[in-house]
Amino acid sequence: MTTIARKSKIQSPKSEIAMLDWEGHKIELRIFFTPRLAMVATDATVTVDGRRVARKGGLGLSETAIGSFNHSGREIRAELQVGGRLDVFTRIPYVLRFDGLPVSEGELKLGGLAAAVTVWLSVVGFLVLLALTV
């Protein structure tokens, strides 16, 4: 049976970090945008008890990180889905599921400088690509 996790947040330079307590496990969700190739990439990581169990990075604004961890002798499938809304430059929506059941969902805010740089690089990257295709 999956229970809903208790959640708190801390601010890092890149974004907020969700800190969860779930059935005796300490879980961290780190989700942020990072500039790559004159575009913006999503980076999502799930850490359980200090061990990274899922990570996904890509050029899309919507990503899903999938992995697994051991809980009471059985493997739990962890799935972190991020992105998918228009306010992605200030907030990153997420849903965390264990074995397909929702455990936590919400939004994490980008840090001030990280958000500004990300938006700026996105605009510049878009303009460069537009200029190359014309």
Contact 20, 2 (CB under 8 A): no
92 occurs within a structural domain: yes
CA distance 32 to 55: 12
pTM for this entry: 0.71
- Position 34 scores a pLDDT of 64
User: Is 117 among the domain residues?
Assistant: yes
3-state helix, strand, coil in the chain (%, to 5): 15, 60, 20
Residue 106 pLDDT grade (very low, low, confident, very high; cuts 50, 70, 90): confident
Q: Which two tokens stand for residue 2?
A: 């999956």
Domain count, the chain: 1
What is the spatial distance between Cα 1 and Cα 21, in angstroms, rounded to a whole number?
15
Task: Give the range of the structural domain holding residue 35, as residue numbers without chain letter.
Answer: 6-133
Residue 25 is predicted with a pLDDT of 94
CA distances to 25, 40, 116, 131 from 65, rounded to whole Å, are 19, 17, 25, 33
Mean pLDDT of 28-51: 76
Say what percent of the chain tops pLDDT 90.
31
Residue of higher predicted confidence among 123 and 115: 123
Residue 1 lies in a domain: no
Mean pLDDT of all residues in 40-52: 84
Q: Is residue 46 part of a domain?
A: yes
